[in-house]
């Protein structure tokens, strides 16, 4: 399963702070700045859960080993945007938050 870094918002934490923390925990990379890509509700009829989406530049100089939670197993791979878009089209990326983040990011950079 292809998935962007993600996790819960801890008590007292903003969605932006949670996004930066999760990025650091799961990838060992420090966010320079977290920019909102909006939010969505994965199941509005059955749950009040909202998922906040962020993009960030990462400081590759500030890297450390990931500090993953117990039971988290993953490999990290940086994928060019054009390949990621193709992976969505081929249903290789099927995680909704990941696909939506990539699509929203693509629209932002194409308008620059």
Question: Active-site positions?
Answer: 72
Who contacts 10 (Cβ-Cβ below 8 Å, separation ≥6)?
A: 18, 21
- Give residue for tokens 């500030």: 62
Tokens of 61: 């100089």
CB-CB neighbours of 112 under 10 Å: 4
Cβ burial of 106 (10 Å; 0-12, 13-18, 19+) is: middle
Total residue length of the chain: 112
- Do residues 32 and 57 make contact, with C-beta atoms less than 8 angstroms apart? yes
């Amino acid at each position: 399963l292809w998935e962007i870094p993600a996790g819960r918002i801890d008590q007292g934490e903003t969605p932006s702070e949670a996004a930066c923390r999760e990025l650091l925990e799961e990838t060992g990379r420090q966010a320079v700045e977290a920019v909102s890509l909006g939010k969505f509700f994965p199941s509005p009829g059955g749950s009040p859960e909202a998922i906040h989406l962020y993009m960030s530049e990462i400081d590759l100089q500030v890297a450390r080993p990931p500090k993953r939670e117990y039971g988290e197993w993953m490999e990290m791979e940086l994928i060019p945007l054009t390949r990621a878009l193709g992976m969505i089209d081929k249903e290789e990326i099927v995680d909704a938050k990941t696909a939506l983040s990539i699509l929203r990011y693509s629209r932002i950079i194409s308008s620059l």
